[in-house]
Structure 1
Amino acid sequence: MELLAHLPVVRERLAGDVRFTFESDPAATSIEEVVFCYPGIFALSAYRVAHRLHELGVPMIPRILTEHAHTRTGIDIHPGAKIGERCFIDHGTGVVIGATCDIGSDAKIYQGVTLGALSVTTEGVSRESPAKRHPTLEDRVTVYAGATILGGETVVGHDSIIGGNVWLTKSVPAGSKIYHRV
């Protein structure tokens, strides 16, 4: 029953995701197209409900929801991750967002992005008090296709752009533009 009290917030967040996706993608022709055809919206819908259930301490069901979305879309968002208002996941195949990831508002994430742990060691990590293993993206960060951002101490400052295929394991300040040149 507690979930019912949270549904207006979930709906508001999803409406923000849909509007932000429509505004961010010049290929989108209508809100309806975004709702019914965009895999990022499907994955975010499952995540938004799963995250609320995760916060309420409901076992297993949050993972079932996000794994169903993962199977359908190729987008893997752990229900423990924190994603702010208005998120746009474009194309989305291969996106991985880890359990302790923090993503601010107005994030844009493209296909093949990994927001993951720097190592898989379990030393000093407990299930009751998990260590921060995944990166933080502050508000208005764009991460282009194939980028990999790793580590719990890695922070991408607000209004930053991480280019395609960048491998990042250190923090970058606000307003950064990180990319490979050829």
Structure 2
Amino acid sequence: MFTGIITDIGTLKSVTRDTGGEWGDTRMDVSCIYDTSTIDIGASISHAGACMTVIEKGPDWYAFEVSDESLSKTTMGDWKEGRKINLERALTGADELGGHLVTGHVDGVGTLTSREEIAGSIKLDFSAPDHIAFGIAPKGSITVDGVSLTVNDASGSTFSVNIIPHTAQATTLGGLQVGDEVNLEIDLIARYVARYLGHMKASGA
């Protein structure tokens, strides 16, 4: 689990495709400022909102593997060497829950449709896939590239958020341009409410 509070911006050092097997995974190496001596092999780290498992590490870097499924369901399929990535280590019992509960399981890929600077902050409008629009509500929570944000407005499959200067500087969101794609995760509670209502409707209750 994560909180959506970014703790580092990593840099993608390399992308290596394993063609040895029938499917083959893609290995990605990330440089970071984390003290990697405190990161266990097998630990979970959120990468722009996608939870990945550490398989190898060095003094200022670590590596993870991405399945074809994750590549096809997130923005990771387009990642190239040099890309900046929002990072968050997994939540511990002693951490402050400053954002909201985030699973690191991406629900869909959204697109930035407009960007407007307003009194120092930045208003970002996104389009979201139709199948997750039900879980995006005004004043609710959403995760955009791993960042916990509050939804300002939502209509149909579009929604808007505001980011303050600190968020713009401390994450990759400040550099987003119209047309850029982002990983989206809807609020955990919204998922289960929708599942429950779907069950009730199917059962005729």
TM-score (norm 1): 0.28
Q: Which has the larger radius of gyration?
A: 2
Task: Select the structure that is richer in strand.
Answer: 2
